[in-house]
Chain A
Amino acid sequence: MTSNISKDVLMLMLERMWRIRHFELKLTEMYSAGEVGGVHLYIGEEAVAVGACAAMDDNDYIAGNHRSHGHPIAKGANLKKAMAEIFGRIDGYCKGKGGSMHLADFSVGILGESGIVGSSVPVATGAGLASKLEGKNFVSAVFFGDGASNQGACHEAMNLASVWNLPVLFICENNQYAVTTSYKDTVAVEHISDRAQAYNMPGVLVDGQDAIAMYEATAQAVERARNGEGPTLIEALTYRFEDHSLGLEKIRKSEYREDSEIDEWRMRDPLDLLTKSIVDSGTATQAECDAISAAAHAEVEEAADFARNSPFPDESELYKDMFASEMPVV
């Protein structure tokens, strides 16, 4: 694999992908130890958010979904605040009021993750509308899954963005299963990206395991958006290596994926693929790549300690943040 992407960007992508991976491996460990609840893991899909966010600027916006750790970390979120949020602590991004499914950091353009599938797609579209109405140059991207692609909100937002020619990137992370149901049983077209035709926007099918391919496809869509050429639908074909959520295997009554399929996708681990292309192209050595992983691991350990030591929100927090203005307690 060759590319014209700078070493800085490649190493940044590797760093952020390792941050996500170690962050979630730590969550898995802490789930087993009873420290955190059954969160939704992004393991296997890291290249999608990281490749996309690396092609955006800090002042661009993103919104995401219930599988919510990958997007903020990809956009540059602080691991300590993210971890503390998952612990429900006051130092978390949302002071413990959002939890794992609702990480948000408005200061770096993360408009938040939505627990209702498809619900953040119109919201991200609105950020794009603001950019256009104010003559600004920022773009807005939304990450949603194959399941969300069937929601009316998603279709409505794509039509709206196209009709108004908005700088919006619709990034469908097709991990192929909505909980346990294959997209092949629920999506009427072969590829979700085919649906772009109906909204008169480009639809691009990308290998979601390949961070470089994601970066390049996103960079093109960003350029179109900034040039006033409107939205793009990117379908990143990917796979979640783990179950829908931690603990689901104890609840569900049957299998829905063949072991051979899982093994096959695990052979295409996005971290291995990016590391290999960095090393093979002579951009950096294996030792440099390993050092990035080790540093991310240390950062995650530090974040876990920070979260454990952060206090729970005080009772005085209960009514705060319902409204921006002072309101009587009812």
Chain B
Amino acid sequence: MTERMFMQALGMGIAEEMRIDPKVFLMGEDVRASVYGAAAGLHDEFGDDRILNTPLSENGFFGAAVGAAAVGMRPVVETLTSFMWVGMDQLVSQAAKMRYMFGGQATLPVVYRAVMYYGGGSAAHHSDRSYPVFMNIGGLKVVTPGTAADAKGLMKTAIRDNDPVIMFEDGTLLPTRGEVPDDPDFTVPFGVANILREGTDVTVVAIAGSVPHAVAAADEMAAEGVSVEVLDPRTLVPLDKDAILNSVGKTGRLVVADPAAKVCSAASEIMSIVGEEAFWDLQAPMQKAASKQVHIPFSPSLEKLVYPTKYSIVESIKKTMG
């Protein structure tokens, strides 16, 4: 175990898998210079043939990754959530649907790494938290690591996985630090939630950048005598439904903290599952601590109002406590 930055952990995961499997390669815009950070050092180690700078052509290279994967390669594509819209047809019509449409003939081991910048005054075009859109499409695995260790372990699992995976790398977490196993055999399975705090009064399901806020909220509530369980699903497709239902069965109260905009968010889906399957376990109305349903404003005075924070999560917890 070594303490590392979330961003370094992502890069470690990629590098380790590239050492193991020659079919893995990385492509994206400015990856050789690692403008977004996680690919630092990869070009030096793996060279031009495995670290490919692409033109600004998301439809072109998102689709090329599908084709390369269809004939046996394992591409890792770096992009930003905000640029995914440009290449949506390839993600939806090809990556997501090809296997089903062709009756299982296509196997597509491709990872799209979507760096999710928000909260830093980047305005509406560069602040998307778009994972709920991809949960709705089907055929894509949706991964949202919340800690540095998960960043590495889920990246490795994503690269080894035989389905298209989108790794949503939360920009607010990139500089955070945590203990990361050095063991190259360390992986984190998909579909298994991580309980960060055990508790008995309220369950907070926290997604991506909300995870540290939820943990801080749990600590604050503990001082007030409220025992909060913090659960990070880590992957939204597949979703560890059982872990969520078990936790709510124990606490009887649910808050979902989700940096995505609140309408049809990951939080909406999780609350709908609990409503359908565990309604009689609930002792209070569920609370959604998601982002407000607005485009991201540039001005810091407005932007800070949008996302869930420790305070909004605490407020939601208090509402469930009556």
Contacts and interface: CB of A to CB of B under 8 A. Distances in A.
B102 A94 contact: yes
B106 A122 contact: no
A273 B250 CA distance: 77
A263 interface: no
A320 interface: yes
B89 interface: yes
Of listed B25, B54, B68, residue having the most chain A CB within 10 A: B68
A133 B239 CA distance: 35
A159 B60 contact: yes
B63 A157 contact: yes
Which 9 pairs of residues, A with B, have the shortest CB-CB distance?
Answer: A126-B67, A122-B63, A156-B60, A94-B103, A126-B64, A156-B57, A321-B104, A95-B103, A324-B162
Contact of A112 (B65, B98, B191): B98
B94 A328 contact: no
A122 B62 contact: yes
Contacts of A163: 55
21 contacts: A96-B103, A97-B100, A97-B103, A106-B70, A114-B93, A119-B93, A122-B59, A122-B66, A122-B94, A127-B67, A127-B71, A134-B72, A153-B59, A153-B60, A156-B57, A156-B60, A160-B55, A321-B103, A322-B99, A322-B138, A328-B241
A119 B68 contact: no
A171 interface: no
Contact of A122 (B61, B75, B102, B107): B61
A97 B101 contact: yes
Interface string B108-152: 100000000000000000000000000000110100000000000
B66 A324 contact: no
A134 B73 contact: yes
Nearest to A102: B101
A267 interface: no
Interface of A: 61, 63, 92-98, 102, 104-106, 111-112, 114-116, 119-131, 133-134, 140, 152-153, 156-157, 159-160, 163-164, 320-325, 327-328, 330
Nearest to A111: B70
Given A96-B103, A122-B67, A325-B162, 15 more contacts: A63-B67, A97-B100, A102-B101, A106-B106, A122-B60, A123-B94, A127-B70, A128-B67, A130-B73, A156-B60, A160-B54, A321-B99, A323-B139, A323-B141, A324-B163
B100 to A, nearest CB: 5
Classify the secondary structure of A's interface with B: mixed
Nearest to B25: A133
Nearest to B240: A328
B90 interface: yes
Contacts of A321: 99-100, 103-104
A112 B106 contact: yes
Contacts of B108: 324
Given A92-B103, A97-B101, A119 B89 contact: yes
B179 interface: no
B100 A160 contact: no
B11 interface: no
Interface in B234-291: 238-239, 241
Contact of A125 (B63, B89, B191): B63
B69 interface: yes
B136 to A, nearest CB: 11
Contacts of A96: 103
A322 B72 contact: no
Given A323-B99, A324-B162, A129 B105 contact: no
Contacts of A124: 67
A123 B70 contact: yes
Contacts of A111: 67, 70-71, 106
A129 B64 contact: yes
A131 B67 CA distance: 11
Contacts of A153: 59-60, 63, 89-90
A65 B90 CA distance: 14
